[in-house]
Amino acid sequence: MMFTEQDRIGRIWTDPAAGSILEKHFSFLAEERHLAFAYKIMTLREFLDARQELGFTDQERAAFLQELAQLPSTKLLERRAEMVNKPQEAPQGAAEIGRHSEGAGLISSPKSAAKWGVYELELRGPAYGNPYTDIDLKATFVCEEDGRSIRVPGFYNGNGVYKIRMMPGEEGRWTYRTESTEKALDGHEGIFVCTAPEAGNHGPVRVRDKYHFAYEDGTAYLPFGTTCYVWTHQGEELEQQTLESLTRSPFNKMRMCVFPKSYLYNLNEPELYPYEGSIREGWNFSVFNPEFFDHLEQRIADLGRLGIEADLILFHPYDRWGFSEMSREEDDLYLRYIVARLSAYRHVWWSLANEYDLMWAKTGEDWERYARIITENDPYGHLLSNHNWLNFYDHSKPWLTHCSLQRIDVYKTSEAALEWRERWDKPIVIDECAYEGDIDQGWGNITGEEMVRRFWEGTIRGGYVGHGETYLNDEEVLWWSKGGRLVGDSPARIGFLRSLVEEAPGQCWEPLRSDWDLPCAGIRDEYYVYYFGFNQPKFRIFHMRPGIKYKVDIIDTWGMTIDESAGVHEGSFRIELPGRPYMAVRLTRAE
């Protein structure tokens, strides 16, 4: 089959022969591989039309198409196919490891685990062949208190070691039994006791009251998140600096990627890769690198100790290694593996993608299949989303627990939170409302004032807004991707907002019927918060139900001050304001 102008650039570029022709005619592509996603999503016709607007002639177009038309298309790079099909060689002495070797089977079985903690079984089995694909391992856990049964998948961790992880959700005695296609791993039984949860562990986050969140024990959870896409790929010193910055921040959710990222200000190579292989030789997408995943787990555990949810992005398009263009079978193997490794961590969320609609190699059916794999293999029902670039995903899908959104309008952002809530009937998390910073990209150079305004606008309308920071520095360590230090003006003000919501009845702001020019949230006849945004009135007349008295606070959302208006107010009353932007007024019923 020949290539046509309807084929995507991604399909052409990843073919060895066609890709070389593409780069010969468009030499700039070889230098812009970190921006490959922007080209790969385009059809060949769209790409050529865009180039002709920049001076590519009709004659040059005809010559390119003629050369391309002489080539048959291929499905996979020859080297990649060779790596995938290459059997893993048995390590020295591997014949002594396995079903007949001394020491095979269960080697670690703790006697207890805290509620919503991680209970881990460790077993020894074969290290030869490819244990990632050749051996199936599961375990069934039963709680003696209420009879609940949980079946969880296990995984291979290299060097002949297999693990099964489980998150007990009920105190008391639990029993377990392993199942495996490998004799040395099959039929192991045991008992452990689930003790009270550790301090600060309230269980996994769930959706509450349709539009909000709470931990499993009922404690309210307000997602005030930030984004550090590839902070876990930056080395020990910078990663520790990121964790230190988080301890002084108001953020309790972190959007982060599994795979490394290739993009502006992200051209460094990671220290670890998720697969066996190398950039030069290619990757074996059927053999994982346990050291990579051990490191990822350590950082996820670090976030847990800080009370921060890990919103884990499973796929993204910013890729020069091929992780975004794996085959269907390779994607599925990866998803089963990572869910087996991480689902026992109570603070993990699953985000199928960052900007799913930029991933040229994925189809609508792929996203549905990924969701099935996750929901079938995650027995705890962690939160699950899919994040957009320009086109919203269909958030009405029943497997989506909440809406993870990026703005699709330059101006209207958080102001649409209530509209989106009513559209999808689910919690609205605006994970990208743009970033506070000063880079040349429109999504990364809003002021701290504007970031805080967007937080207030989204919150007052019943949504949850995410932070990011993109200030230039000589080291090109921008928080939004690599972490490091927070230097912006918005985090402290976001923390101030968070404290106000936490003080509210029910620890949430529910939108209320408002005047056309002044959004409002709270509880009718009990508690109201009004936000003026960039407007700057000198006073406001409020019309409340007669017979109910209110204490009134005037809040400077940027200056982080609260001034109480003298006396109590009832019916229609006038409140004097300072005539500057970013003010709010809070009415609390006076007992």
pLDDT in tens, 198-224: 999 999 999 999 999 999 999 999 999
Rounded CA separation 454/415 (Å): 8
Q: What is the DSSP letter of 308?
A: -
Q: What is the mean pLDDT of residues 6-31?
A: 92
β-strand 112-114 against 189-195: which pairing, if any? parallel
DSSP 234-269: S-HHHHHHHHHHHHTSS--EEEEESS---BTTB-SP
CB distance 22 to 28 below 8 Å: no
Q: Measure CA of the first residue to CA of the last residue in the chain; give whole Å.
A: 78
Please, which residues have CB within 8 angstroms of residue 387's CB and are 6 or more apart in sequence?
313, 351, 352, 353, 354, 355, 356, 393, 404, 405, 406, 431, 432
The per-residue pLDDT for 183 is 95
Q: CA nearest 462: which of 430, 495, 496, 485?
A: 430
SS3 content of the chain, % helix, strand, coil (to 5): 30, 30, 40
Measured from the Cβ of residue 221, the count of other Cβ atoms closer than 10 Å reads: 23
Is residue 585 over pLDDT 60?
yes
Structure tokens belonging to residue 105? 């089977």
Question: Cβ distance 206 to 427 under 8 Å?
Answer: no
SS3 392: coil
Above pLDDT 90, what percent of the chain? 89
Residue 591 CB: number of other CB atoms within 10 A? 5
3-state SS string for 342-406? HCCCCCEEEEEECCHHHCCCCCHHHHHHHHHHHHHHCCCCCCEECCCCCCCCCCCCCCCCCEEEE
Over the range 297-316, which residues count as b (16 or more CB within 10 Å of their CB) and which as e? bebbebbbeeebbbbbbbbb
Predicted local distance difference test score (pLDDT) of residue 400: 98
Beta-bridge partners for 556 = 561, 583
Q: Is the pLDDT of residue 1 over 90?
A: no
Gap between the Cα atoms of 154 and 136, Å rounded: 8
581 in Cβ contact with 536 (< 8 Å): yes
CA dist., res. 287 & res. 276, Å (int):
6
What single-letter amino acid sits at 204?
P
**pLDDT for residue 586:** 98
Q: Read off the pLDDT of residues 380-435 as tens digits, 9 standing for 90 and up.
A: 999 999 999 999 999 999 999 999 999 888 888 899 999 999 999 999 999 999 99
d(Cα 122, Cα 375) in Å, to the nearest integer? 24
The closest alpha carbon to 391, from 407, 377, 380, belongs to: 407
583 neighbors 519 (Cβ within 8 angstroms):
no
CA distance 29 to 417: 39
Mean pLDDT along residues 3-14: 91
Instruction: Examine the pLDDT at 172 and tell me if it is beyond 90.
Output: yes
**Distance, CA of 469 to CA of 373 (rounded, Å):** 33
Predicted pLDDT of residue 74:
52
Give the mean pLDDT of 185-195. Answer: 97
What is the C-alpha to C-alpha distance for residues 383 and 400, in angstroms, rounded to an integer? 8
Residue 394 Cα distances to 102, 384, 406, 424, 464, angstroms: 53, 13, 14, 9, 19
Q: Are 204 and 216 in contact (CB under 8 A)?
A: yes
Answer whether 98's CB lies under 8 Å from 126's CB.
yes
Q: What is the sign of the dihedral through the CA atoms of 457, 463, 464 and 468?
A: negative
- Side-chain half-sphere of 419: how many Cα atoms within 13 Å? 7
Identify which of 121, 256, 134, 137 has the alpha carbon closest to the alpha carbon of residue 192. 121
Paired with 543 in beta bridges are 572
Where residue 4 falls among pLDDT bands split at 50, 70, 90?
confident
pLDDT digits (tens, 9 = 90+) for 513-538: 989 999 999 999 999 999 999 999 99
The per-residue pLDDT for 90 is: 40
Residue 16, classed as helix, strand or coil, is helix
Kindly calculate the radius of gyration of the chain based on its CA atoms and give it in whole angstroms. Answer: 27
Region for 273 from its dihedrals, namely left if φ exceeds 0, alpha if ψ lies in -120 to 50, beta otherwise: beta
CA count, 13 A, side-chain hemisphere, 483: 26
Is residue 363 scored above 80 in pLDDT?
Answer: yes
Average pLDDT value over all residues in the chain: 93
Helix (H, G, I), strand (E, B) or coil at 52: helix
Vertex 214 angle, CA 213 and 219, to 5°: 150
| pLDDT at residue 142 in the model | 98
Asked whether residue 374 carries a pLDDT value surpassing 90, the answer given is: yes
For residue range 72-102, list pLDDT tens digits in order. Answer: 645 443 444 444 344 444 433 333 333 334 5
d(CA 107, CA 183): 15
- Rounded CA-CA distance 591/575 in Å is 20
Residue 290: CA count within 13 A, CB half-sphere: 11
Task: Please state the pTM of the whole predicted model.
Answer: 0.93
